[in-house]
Amino acid sequence: MRLSRFFIDAPLSLGRCELPEAQAHYIGRVLRLAAGDAVQLFDGSGQEFIGELAEVGKKNVQVELREQFAGQAESPLRIHLGQGLSRGERMDWAIQKATELGVAEITPIVSERCEVRLKDERADKRLAHWRQIAISACEQCGRSLLPAIHPPILLGDWLERTRAELKLVLHPVAEPLASHARPGSLAFLIGPEGGLSEAEVEAARRAGYRAARLGPRVLRTETAPVVALSVAQQLWGDF
């Protein structure tokens, strides 16, 4: 039977440890686990820990960690996803599925046709929210390392700063994704709900990005990363 698995945002080691308040509340008050129940924890270091709950109180939970082992291996294809910033659930979905599909980094991109603008405190809250989306996805899919979720940046900054062996921008008029040679690292640029303008696609080309298409149909901004990442992992990664 699969153990309940939780991310702990603190270094773990064998022996007894007290869990942070948020996880303690979730384990004790929401899931109603009891002393003696087995759990699996990970801290984002790549290591996994198995133990059992030693004490479950109203505000604190202690666990006895008895086994440590290397977690799930990451994909040999390191992918940095530049995802056009979109509204609410669309962005959540893209981050969740990109995490499940093994991306190493995700950067929300602010481009010409973005309908969302985030500033200051609101941006910080969204970034924390997206990180929690990625954590939950890792807990579910078995990843031991969290993808890096970067703050939103302007498209021009993304084009200037991002480094990868192969850099691709999705475009409906281009060669198929499979026509490109196997890279060791990949940067994927996907537009927002309104898509990238032709001027932005041309700017990407000047920055070393090559256009690639996924098929004859135009995909929504939250569908495109799922399809693109699945195809890339099948061609060059660990599918």
CATH of region 5-70, choose from 1.20.1260.10, 2.40.10.120, 2.40.240.20, 3.40.50.720: 2.40.240.20
What single string gives the DSSP state of each residue in 115-160?
-----HHHHHHHHHHHHHHHHHHHHHHT-SSPPEEPPPEEHHHHHH
pLDDT per residue as tens, the chain (239 positions) = 578 899 999 999 999 999 988 888 888 888 899 999 999 999 999 999 999 999 998 778 999 999 999 999 999 999 999 999 988 789 999 999 999 999 999 999 999 887 777 666 677 889 999 999 999 999 999 999 999 999 999 999 999 999 999 999 988 888 888 899 999 999 999 999 888 999 999 999 999 999 998 888 889 999 999 999 999 999 999 99
- Residue 82, classed as helix, strand or coil, is strand
CATH 2.40.240.20 maps onto the chain at 5-70
Superfamily of domain covering 78-236: SPOUT methyltransferase, trefoil knot domain (3.40.1280.10)
Q: What residue spans in the chain does CATH classification 3.40.1280.10 cover?
A: 78-236
Inter-CA distances, 11 with 71, 124, 147, 150, Å: 15, 24, 17, 22
